Chains A and B, each alone.
Chain A
Amino acid sequence: MPVATINDHLVQVDEEGFLTDYDEWNEDLARVLAAQIGIELTEDHWKAISFLRSDYKLTGETPTLRRVTTVGGIPTKELFVLFPKKPAKKMAYIAGLPKPRGCV
């Protein structure tokens, strides 16, 4: 498993740079991860990130876009504005969760 240095911290990541250990994440790290993909985190971003973190803790799965909308209460349209083009993937990346699983 590859290791990356982010903000002077060593973290476990997968081949695409998604964090693999839930507990290695913190808010400072999230800001750095977000900056790497060109996003500056605002309060609205944090609302989505917090939902992802708490939902993952509950279910053990990275929530889908649909779930962030239906359960997390954030309209899909807004998620596309906050995390342009690929919201599901970008949110998971910033929240330090595994990439949402692609089903065959």
Chain B
Amino acid sequence: MKQLLILGGGTAGTMAANRLRRRLSPGEWRITVVDQSEDHYYQPGQLFIPFGIYQPRDLVKPRRRFLPAGVELVIAEIELVVPEDNKVVLADKTELFYDELIIATGTSPRPGETAGMAEGEWRKSVHEFYTFEGATALAHKLADWDGGRLVIHIVDMPIKCPVAPLEFTFLADAYFAEQGMRDRVEMVFVTPLDGAFTRPVASRHLGAMLEERKVSIETDFTVERVDAQERTLVSYDEREIPFDLLVTVPLNMGADYLARSGLGDDLNYVPVNPQTLQSKTHENIFALGDASDIPTSKAGSVAHFSLELFEDNFVHHIHGRPMTKLFDGHANCFIESGHGKGLLIDFNYDTEPLPGKYPLPGLGPFSLLRESEANHWGKMMFRWVYWNLLLPGKEMPLEPLMSMAGKEVEEAVR
């Protein structure tokens, strides 16, 4: 009997367990998932918690329910991977051996990595929305905040769901308008990038949307420290940005056991071949979802598209055949823009997000890089899709590789 061990039962790990259980003979392969908690969170919903649109209870379900029969779930902290011995050591010193290992333990915010951030003002005037505790604390803060200077801030790239800080900004603008207090809030968007987003065309579109909403933007800002006393962000080149309320995206890092095991880069991400997701150093280790170092968004859609191809590759791999389904970094993300509208972006390693229609060229129903109500409904419906189609690994009418059909390319050529 062979053993496939999957570390992490989140979006990528759960999809992998479901897809591979169908492909691997139960008489030949045992599949075990290790995760540190019983709860599976619908993470895209976290963005809506600060504005009272979702409550935390709307977004959590038991992890076990989304794993198929024939997959064992172990709830435990991971201490170490020992690739030389093909084993994983848990915090209680239990050893789990594997023939093939999938690392899917994602990424997490690390406020402690920025001086002054996690100290005195943490969860008082300094907030984040990437954890359930953080998003909930921010909801309480916003509910009785009477205005002032709101600074939305990103420490460094890459981050999970790179559009989320912009979405938060758009939703906050709409929220304050609806509360009749937008004129009492000054909004500033502070980024280490040279524009609103990473790639030129999307950066122009999204930058214009910030301008329309009277949000000023401070670019190329590499934060040195948060001065909690003075309520000020200080950069390495000595710029200072005062705030009454700071909503920051702390440095994101992969799981610490990867550093201890010598499997991570300086941010604890596993270096992999970007087309096959196979570890660059160990043939029987793969990293799926946010845990790898592939140069595309850390997002559930990347996990989804890559998994469709990975499933076939993995079967080839265990039979000693070459892996032929090569991933192109395809991702698409809905971007909530407030007042019941949203945008959609679709891109890969080589092609930046462009305007157009998706998935059907000319028809949509979704509009790329433009605001529409259909995009907003797509985003709201996605919660159902996530639990019922995505996690179980059911067929969806979307191609895993990106297509240029439906995209307008003129704008990209400057």
Chain A contact residues, CB within 8 Å of chain B: 64-67, 70-71, 76-77, 79-80, 84-86, 101-104
Contacts and interface: CB of A to CB of B under 8 A. Distances in A.
Given A80-B237, A86-B194, A103-B198, 17 more contacts: A66-B156, A66-B267, A76-B222, A76-B224, A76-B236, A77-B236, A80-B222, A80-B236, A84-B237, A101-B295, A102-B157, A102-B199, A103-B157, A103-B162, A103-B297, A104-B197, A104-B353
B158 interface: yes
Contacts of B158: 103
Given A80-B237, A84-B237, A104-B347, A67 B297 contact: no
Contacts of A101: 295
B159 to A, nearest CB: 9
B193 interface: yes
A64 B266 contact: yes
B6 to A, nearest CB: 25
Nearest to A100: B157
29 contacts: A66-B156, A66-B266, A67-B266, A70-B266, A71-B266, A76-B222, A76-B224, A77-B224, A77-B236, A79-B236, A80-B236, A84-B237, A85-B237, A101-B295, A102-B193, A102-B198, A102-B199, A103-B157, A103-B158, A103-B198, A103-B295, A103-B297, A104-B162, A104-B197, A104-B198, A104-B297, A104-B331, A104-B347, A104-B352
Contacts of B157: 102-103
A47 to B, nearest CB: 18
B266 A104 contact: no
Nearest to B156: A66
A104 B156 contact: no
A44 to B, nearest CB: 16
Interface of B: 156-158, 162, 193-194, 197-199, 220, 222, 224, 236-237, 266-267, 295-297, 331, 347, 352-353
Nearest to A102: B198
Contacts of A79: 236
B199 A104 contact: yes
Query: Chain B binding site: helix, strand, loop or mixed by DSSP?
Result: loop
A77 B156 CA distance: 15
A103 B292 CA distance: 13
A104 B331 CA distance: 10
A103 B331 CA distance: 12
A84 B158 CA distance: 22
What are the 4 closest A-B residue pairs judged by CB atoms, nearest first?
A103-B158, A80-B236, A102-B198, A80-B237
Contact of A104 (B224, B237, B296): B296
A102 B352 CA distance: 11
A101 B350 CA distance: 12
B222 A65 contact: yes
A12 B124 CA distance: 52
A79 B236 CA distance: 9
Nearest to A86: B220
Contacts of B222: 65, 76, 80
A78 B404 CA distance: 44
A83 B352 CA distance: 28
A67 B199 CA distance: 23
A103 B296 contact: yes
Contacts of A76: 222, 224, 236
Contacts of A102: 157, 193, 198-199
Contacts of A67: 266
A100 B91 CA distance: 37
A80 B236 CA distance: 7
A104 B166 CA distance: 13
Nearest to B193: A102
Contacts of B199: 102, 104
B291 to A, nearest CB: 14
Nearest to A67: B266
Contacts of A64: 266
A32 to B, nearest CB: 24
A82 B198 CA distance: 25
Contacts of B162: 103-104
A86 B221 CA distance: 9
A71 B267 CA distance: 12
A77 B224 CA distance: 8
Contacts of B224: 76-77
B334 to A, nearest CB: 15
A7 B181 CA distance: 60
A2 B220 CA distance: 27
A104 B402 CA distance: 15
Nearest to A64: B266
Of the listed residues A76, A84, A86, A102, the one surrounded by the most CB atoms of chain B closer than 10 A to its CB is A102
